[in-house]
Each structure stands twice: as structure tokens, then as C-alpha cells.
Amino acid sequence: MSEQETILIMNFGSQYAQLIARRVRECEVFSEIIPHTLKAEEIKRRAPKGIIMSGGPASVYADNAPKCDPAILDLGIPVLGICYGMQLGSQILGAKVKGAARREYGRTQMNVLDDSDLFAGLHGELTVWMSHGDQVESVSSDFETLANSKTCPNAAVRIRSKRFYGVQFHPEVTHTPQGMKILGNFVHGICGCGNHWRMEDFIKSEVAAIRERVGDKRVVCGLSGGVDSSVAAVLIWKAIGDRLKCIFVDNGLLRAREARSVEDTFRNHFPMNLEVVDASERFLTRLQGVTDPEKKRKIIGHEFIAVFRDVAAKVQGAQFLAQGTLYPDAIESAAAHAGGTTAVIKTHHNVGGLPAELGFELLEPFRMLFKDEVRRIGTALGLPDEIVWRHPFPGPGLAVRVLGEVTKERLDVLRQADSIFIDEIREAGLYRAIAQAFAVLLPVSTVGVMGDERTYQNVVALRAVQTEDFMTADWFRMPDEVLARMSNRIVNEVKGVNRVVYDISTKPPSTIEWE
Ligand code: XMP
């Protein structure tokens, strides 16, 4: 491990530190996030090929601004400071940092003045993402300006003798289109890292870490059939085999054939210890007469915990609970727990997972990763595409898609319509182009005519969205002929439905789910 080429990312409280780490992994280089308090001596001992100092919310001249050991800049190891990291590094090396006359936030045009190393292969104007109130103002003669913008004379700087580089913008975000090229220039060109790190390396080191942590104890895992929990289960199974017990709770709110297909997939591909618990009666009984979406969520959340607890209690020696928590989930729930600055729009009970009172230690191998990285791991572990590329499915399942009261009959109507919708999407080759798609059963009846008869039946809404992060979303432009086939099949094949509508709302102001 010690010979592994590593980039250390010094975290100054940036929301982007993990994103930087992830971009370095995309450059096929191993990276590790370290606290900004780590001393130069310790860094030297770890012998990284380079250091990236992250951004952060503070001003370098604020009293409690996070600092670093200035001797780090004398180690001869290349350092890239991003935003706050640039300001701090530059300040240590003798520059003046001042509040900018105008806060810069968002997309800006920047001119590259020197394309010899950090900006190799990039010329002229670049679009970059700025987000700062301070900037490096006057620099000493050691500084070379590599780029400037209208409002920022030192948008990128270099001190050759110290191997220090600073950028005022964020190369790690997608709003800086050439950001990966710039980070690649830093890690490969300046730090001299090769392209050695692979997702398989993550799997190897994580399997070893899980074995070591779990020892001879057991792990329980709530398998939902979604990407994250499935990949987590397989990874842990690789590490500890039969000492992992997976529990799949059929809550009666699943899509057509879902419980069956999850069971088959796992039994056929991975002979793991899996128990499928049919608890549908329990859930449906508790949901009787309930129409309020938040109440539905609470009931389902509580019931799930109760069922899970009963089954897990029978697993002798179980000390760990495995969850497929991703980095963005961890951030969101941390924000939600940190004092409620984020308004609760919907209680997503999977975020934060099962409660601490279950008494397990958490095993969350993907806590530092992003969804597409988990997909890559899934593929590397041999999970079928059908699971790896599955659209997300909410914990409360179809209960929040049968608007109003949830009954077995209404669930069955929805299941049939939903399955036609998804089949047609697959048939048209559109499944991967859509982030999430589902049908919703509305609590209204409309008039129709079938043969010579007047009908008064259900309306089904179809929703398909495109999104990167599920925080904002646009409706999917479904081709007419595909919509026509879907609607035709649904009204003809699903008893009790005489009308189909397609949802053309964006998020915000709508949400993706209807409840
Ligand atoms: P919204 O409707 O908030 O959905 O735009 C964003 C994403 O979250 C999923 N979602 C949930 N997931 N429990 C979950 O596990 C929930 O209660 C829940 N509500 C919404 C939704 O399917 C979409 O992917």
C-alpha cells in the first residue's frame, strides 16, 4: 500500500472535498481526504505525490479560519489550492488576500495566460465556476499569474520554486467543463502520477477492511433490490460469505413480480444467505383508511423497522448492520440532523437508515462514494445490468403512488399499469435515458366510453424524468408513438382504467413523486 501513488486532499470544510477525491479517482489515482491540521512531518511520512487544498466557507483573515502547517509548502510536494486553499496557500507564501469588490458566484469566463503545465492543452477563454467572496490581490514577484478574469486578476497562480498552484475557481464541479482536464494536468503532468488506480482496488481494500472489522461476528443487511443495498450486500458477501444475512421485506407495496425477481437474481447469481419475509398483510392492515402521505411514510417506516428487528433478532451473533449509504445521502442526513436548517419536504425514511436503537454498528462501505461509482463496483462484482442500472424506487413503494387510500385492489391496478409503462420504455430502448419512471394511480374517476357503454373509472398518470441528482429534474420528452402505445395498452389491458395522462412538470416546483 505504501508504494501506492496517492494524492492527499486537505479538507478545509468544503462541501466539495469528497467530490475532489472522486475526480482524482476518475483520473485513476488513489486519493485520501485528510484533516487540515495534519502536520508537515506526518505528510512527509506518507509521501504523497501531490496535495490538494480544498475550498472552505471561511475567510483566511477570520479569527477562527482553519489553517494548515505552513511547512507543508516547503516539502517540495506539488500543492494545488482551490478557492480557500488557494487563498490560504498564497497568504502563507506572502500574497495579500482581500474581500473582492463584488462577490463572484456562478459561471465566469476566464482567460488562460500560461498553458505550460496546469492549463496544458487549454487556450484562450475557459468557462469556470466561481464561488467566493475573497481573492488573492497583490502577489510578490515569485508569483506568476496563469489566468485572469474581468473581476479576478489572479484567477490562477503558480509559484514555481514552491511547486504551488492556486485556482480561484472550482475545477471539480461539472459547471467547469474543462475541470477534469485541469485536475488531470495536476495529478498526471505536475505530480507525475500514472493511471494505476482501479475500482477493483477499492473492492480489494474494502473486502480486507470488512473482514478485519467484522472478525467472527455476523452482519445483517436490509436488501431492497435497489442498486446501493444490492452492491453493498454482494461486496460484504465476498468478504465474509455466510456470516452475512440478507433480509428482504416484502411490504406488499412492491412493483409487479418484484420480490420474485430480486430473489431469483440473488439466488441465481450469488448463493448468499437471504431471507424473504412476506409482511404484506401487516403493512396493508396498518395503512387502512390512511390518506395523508407523511402518515403513510411514518407507518411504513415504523412497520419496516419492527419487521426487520424481529427477523434480525434471530440472527445469532449479529453485531453489524450493512447499509448502502452513499456520500450524498450521508451529507443530506447530516444536514437534516444538524439542526433542521433544511426544511423537511418529504420524510425519506431510507436516508439515515434504520435507527440507532436497533443496537447495531453500521457497516457502510460506500459512505464516501457516489452513485455512479457504486454502479461501477456492481458491474465489477458481476451484478447483472438489470440491478446495476435500476431506477431508484422509494422505500414507501407504491403506497405513495396510489394517491389517497391504499388498498390491495388499487395496488393491483397500479402494478399492472406500471408494468406496461416500464415494459414499453424498455421495448423502446429508453430505460437508460430516463432516470426514473413510474405510473401513479389518481384518486379521481373520469367518464369514458367503451363500446356503447359509459364508463366511470380511474386515471393513471405516467411520470418519467431526467435528472443528475434527483434534487432538480425535467420531464422526459417521450416520443409520441411510444406514448400512444403505452396509453393504448393501459386503457385496453388494465381493468378499471379509462384515461392516461403524461406528467409534464419539472422539479421544482413539483417533486418527482406525487406524494
Ligand atoms: P421527490 O419526490 O422528493 O423524490 O422529488 C426524489 C427522489 O427520492 C425518492 N423518494 C423517496 N425515497 N423514501 C425513499 O426511500 C421516500 O419516502 C421517498 N420519497 C421520494 C423518489 O422516488 C426520487 O427518486
Do 205 and 338 fall into the same domain?
yes
Q: Find the 348 Cα to ligand 1 centroid distance in Å.
A: 6
270 Cβ below 6 A of ligand 1: no
> Scanning the structure block, which residue is given the C-alpha cell 437508515?
353
Which residues is 362 bridged to in the sheet?
A: 321
pLDDT at residue 345, as a whole number:
53
Residues 405 and 369 in one domain: no
C-beta pairs of 342-348 under 8 Å, 24+ apart in sequence? 345/511, 346/293, 346/294, 346/297, 346/511, 346/513, 347/294, 347/297, 347/298, 347/301, 348/394, 348/395
Specify whether 191 is catalytic: no
- 121 and 236 fall within a common domain: no
The reply to whether 229 and 358 lie within a common domain is yes
User: Do 440 and 383 have their domain in common?
Assistant: no
> Which residues constitute the domain of residue 443?
401-502
Atom of ligand 1 nearest to the CA of 395: 15
Among residues 28, 68, 152, 170, the one annotated as catalytic is 170
Q: Which domain CATH number covers 495?
A: 3.30.300.10
Q: For position 467, what pLDDT does the model report?
A: 93
Residue 269 annotated as catalytic:
no
Q: What is the pLDDT of residues 130-174, one digit of tens each?
A: 987 899 987 888 999 999 999 899 999 999 999 999 999 999 999
DSSP letter at 168? S
- Quick check: CB of 168 below 6 Å from ligand 1? no
Mean pLDDT of 291-297: 96
Ligand 1 in contact with 475 (CB < 6 A)? no
How far apart (Å, rounded) are the C-alpha atoms in residues 398 and 410? 10
- What was the pLDDT predicted at 346? 54
C-alpha cell at 387: 440491478
**Choice among 27, 68, 83, 191 that is catalytic:** 83
3-state secondary structure 198-209: CHHHHHHHHHHH
Mark which of 167, 190, 213 sits at the end of a domain: 190
In a domain, 102, yes or no: yes
How many angstroms does the Cα of residue 513 sit away from the middle of ligand 1?
6
Mean pLDDT of the chain: 92
Same domain, 203 and 272: yes
- Are 176 and 310 contained in the same domain? no
Burial of 237 (0-12, 13-18, 19+ CB in 10 A): buried
Residue 401, classed as helix, strand or coil, is coil
- How many domains in the chain? 3
- Domain presence at residue 182: yes
| Same domain (yes/no): 363, 447 | no
C-alpha cell at 139: 502577489
Using a 6 Å cutoff on CB, does residue 54 contact ligand 1?
A: no
Please report, for residues 283, 300, 404, 405, 468, the alpha-carbon distance to residue 288 in angstroms, rounded to integers and kept in the order given: 9, 12, 11, 7, 36
327 falls in which pLDDT band (50, 70, 90)?
confident
Residue 265 has pLDDT above 70, yes or no: yes
Beta bridge pairs of residue 363: 322
Q: Are residues 64 and 176 in the same domain?
A: yes
- Cβ–ligand 1 distance for 349 under 6 Å, the answer yes
Same domain membership, residue 134 and residue 204: no
> How open is the CA angle 66-19-170, to the nearest 5 degrees?
70
DSSP state, residue 188: I
What number does the ligand 1 atom closest to the CA of 351 have?
15
30, pLDDT greater than 50:
yes
Distance 400 CA to ligand 1 centre (A): 9
Q: Has residue 436 got a pLDDT over 80?
A: yes
Whether residue 307 is predicted with pLDDT greater than 90 in this model: the reply is yes
Q: Residues 90-108, buried b or exposed e (16+ Cβ, 10 A)?
A: bbbbebebeebeeebeeeb
Q: What is the CATH number of the domain that holds 256?
A: 3.40.50.620
170 has catalytic annotation = yes
Q: The domain spanning residue 50 has which CATH number?
A: 3.40.50.880
pLDDT bin (cut points 50, 70, 90) of residue 351 is very low
Give, using CA atoms, the residue closest to atom 9 of ligand 1: 394
353 shares its domain with 429: no
Whether residue 348 has its Cβ less than 6 Å from ligand 1: yes
C-alpha of 330 from chain center: 9
Is there a single domain that holds both residue 251 and residue 338? yes
| Rounded Cα–Cα distance for residues 407 and 399 (Å) | 9
Summarize the chain as % helix, strand, coil (round to 5): 35, 25, 40
Question: Can you tell me the mean pLDDT for 501-508?
Answer: 96
The minimum-distance atom of ligand 1 relative to the CA of 391 is 24
Domain end among 388, 411, 435: 388
Residue 77 has, within 13 A of its CA and on its CB side, a CA count of 26
DSSP 458-470: EEEEEEEEE-SSS
**End position of a domain, from candidates 190, 212, 245:** 190
Averaged over 211-224, what is the pLDDT? 96
> For residue 137, what are the CA distances in angstroms to 101, 114, 161, 223, 455?
11, 19, 20, 54, 74
Beta bridge partners of 104: 132
